[in-house]
Homo-oligomer: A and B are copies of this chain.
Amino acid sequence: MVRLTGKVLDIEYRGVLLNREDARTIGVLDGDRVELVNEEKKTAAQAFVTTTATMLPQGTAGVYQVTNRRLELEGSEQIEIRAVGRPASIDFIKKKMDGGRLTMEETRSIVREIVDDTLSPGEVSAYIVGTYINGLDMDEIEYLTRATVATGDQLSFASRPIVDKHSIGGVPGNKITLLVVPMIMAAGLKCPKTSSRAITGAGGTADLMEAIAPVTFTASELQAMTEKAGGAIVWGGATNIAPADDKIILYEYPLKIDPHGQMLASVMAKKFAVGADLVVIDIPVGRDAKVASIDEGRKLARDFMELGDRLGMKVECALTYGETPIGRSIGVNLEVAEALSILKGLDTPDSLIQKSAAIAGIALEMAGKVQAGTGTDAALDLLRNGKADAMMQKIIEVQGGDPGVTADDLPPGDHAFTVNAPDTGYVIEMDNRALITIARAAGAPHDHGAGILFHKKQGQHVKRGDPIFTIHADRSWRLQKALEEGRRLMPVAVEGMLIDRIPSQHWRQPMN
């Protein structure tokens, strides 16, 4: 073991930088693992070694920011460094690669070491790819869920039931959480909702909510807010609830994979960790959604319910229509404005209202608040009598936003271009992936005004020249980018339209 002066390196990275002479003394090379101990704070962290000949003097170790969140160095403090071996969990990762079944203990070891950053990126990826190719059975999924819960913070409420909902992602415009949570709360049920930000989408629920209130809270703050207001809608990434999942997703995203077992565990760990008793899961089904067919959706639903059963949570699932965007908007301000307008009495679009009420209604029935078969109507009542809106105001207020906010406070971007129907006919196709790409090109979710507003939806009749949708952007060059993507992708098809016509023709319309 070697004692060095630790110094924080303000670089957002994990690891430790050693003078090459010190590395030699410790007996490590670039990429090797060491354990660092902050003697004063009694904290420890494992880190991978990078070396330098000149950037640090001998005797000083540079600790990168991500690693220092564990080590908690403040100025120049003494640290002890020693080389450490290969973590045990690599053998378990290998076992999964070789088609073996992981035990509870093996799973816990892997998840713990992912959370502690003691596995290299290559090793974490090997685990995820191993589970992707060889799969996880229900026992293994249960272990993974429990390990994911156990390695993070948990909520614990004195009064029950606690209700939670989840929508499987991939469908643009899915702002239903902003309607469902207030409806559930309006029935007197507690709902501590953690949401994600968009990774590949045009706006996650956390991105939407952030337009009207802060969303960054700890787990205990989420608990306190839920006890006070009845519910909250926060960004899960800040809570340290199921932190393993946040790390795993970083590897899944570039590979565009979401292994079945990992997905089940990811969703259910978050529900279990907030103390949910009753869970409603919205499974959009559509060619471009994560679930492509009704059969696949039913199978996934059964798996969610079995896993819920094993964890002591009651789960119901709703297969929903996921072929086209939900509601009439995609993008932060457009979606939040749409949700707030509905809470304040607007009665369109009907499809969005019906879907939200159906999901909330299932929760109401599960909780025994209403008779079976009457949940949707009860939820619609809570929307129409203003109780859901009052709950949304309580959520916004408890999170530190302005409860008086209305749709007018959430303007679409000034730079806009409307796409008109090139022919008369029915809107026969809306391409979710293309629409997301266009909304992101326009600046969503970073630019709050960016997005797409639909004047017509799939199945509706349009006359040549009728506006179909409008792209909004906060910045002119972003609008141009979005238009380029639109010309390339042709996201909406009208029956009778010549599919093989040069795409750019469809866009040569005057600016609205």
Contact = CB atoms under 8 A, between A and B. Distances in A.
B126 A255 contact: yes
A17 B11 CA distance: 8
A368 interface: no
A90 interface: yes
Contacts of A257: 94, 97
A12 B94 contact: no
Contacts of A13: 30, 50
B251 A122 contact: yes
Interface string A104-132: 00000000000000001111111011101
Interface in A355-385: none
The size class of the interface chain A forms with chain B is 35 or more
Contacts of A99: 133
A449 to B, nearest CB: 17
Interface string A130-155: 10111000000000000000000000
Nearest to A99: B133
A94 to B, nearest CB: 6
B10 A54 contact: yes
B129 A255 contact: no
A340 to B, nearest CB: 29
A42 interface: no
A250 to B, nearest CB: 7
Contact of A12 (B12, B30, B133): B30
B133 A55 contact: no
Contact of A254 (B86, B133, B255): B86
Contact of A125 (B12, B123, B133, B250): B123
25 contacts: A9-B55, A10-B55, A11-B51, A12-B50, A86-B254, A90-B254, A90-B255, A94-B255, A94-B256, A97-B129, A97-B132, A97-B133, A97-B255, A120-B121, A121-B125, A122-B125, A122-B250, A122-B254, A122-B255, A123-B125, A126-B128, A126-B129, A129-B130, A129-B133, A130-B133
A93 interface: yes
Interface in A271-300: none
Copies of this chain assembled into the complex: 2
Contact of A31 (B9, B134, B250): B250
A254 B91 CA distance: 10
A265 to B, nearest CB: 19
Nearest to A130: B129
Indicate the member of A10, A97, A130 with the most B CB atoms within 10 Å.
Answer: A10
Contacts of A126: 125-126, 128-129, 255
Contacts of A122: 121-122, 124-125, 250-251, 254-255
A12 B121 contact: no
A52 interface: yes
Contacts of A54: 10
Given A125-B125, A126-B125, A11 B132 contact: no
A129 B125 contact: yes
A53 interface: yes
A36 B497 CA distance: 44
A353 to B, nearest CB: 36
A116 B133 CA distance: 27
Contacts of A251: 122
Contacts of A129: 97, 125-126, 129-130, 133
A3 to B, nearest CB: 18
A82 to B, nearest CB: 14
Nearest to A15: B13
Interface string A1-39: 000000001111100010000000000001100000000
Contacts of A93: 255
A50 B54 CA distance: 20
Interface string A239-269: 0000000000011001111000000000000
A30 B134 CA distance: 31
Given A125-B125, A130-B133, 20 more contacts: A10-B52, A11-B51, A12-B50, A31-B250, A90-B254, A90-B256, A94-B257, A97-B129, A97-B255, A99-B133, A120-B121, A121-B121, A122-B125, A122-B250, A123-B254, A126-B126, A126-B129, A129-B133, A133-B133, A133-B134
Contacts of A90: 254-256
A345 B413 CA distance: 87
A152 to B, nearest CB: 22
Most buried by B among A17, A126, A128: A126
In the complex, which of the residues A50, A97, A255 has the most CB atoms of chain B within 10 Å of its own CB atom? A255
Interface string A70-111: 000000000000000010001001100101000000000000
Nearest to A49: B12
A86 to B, nearest CB: 6
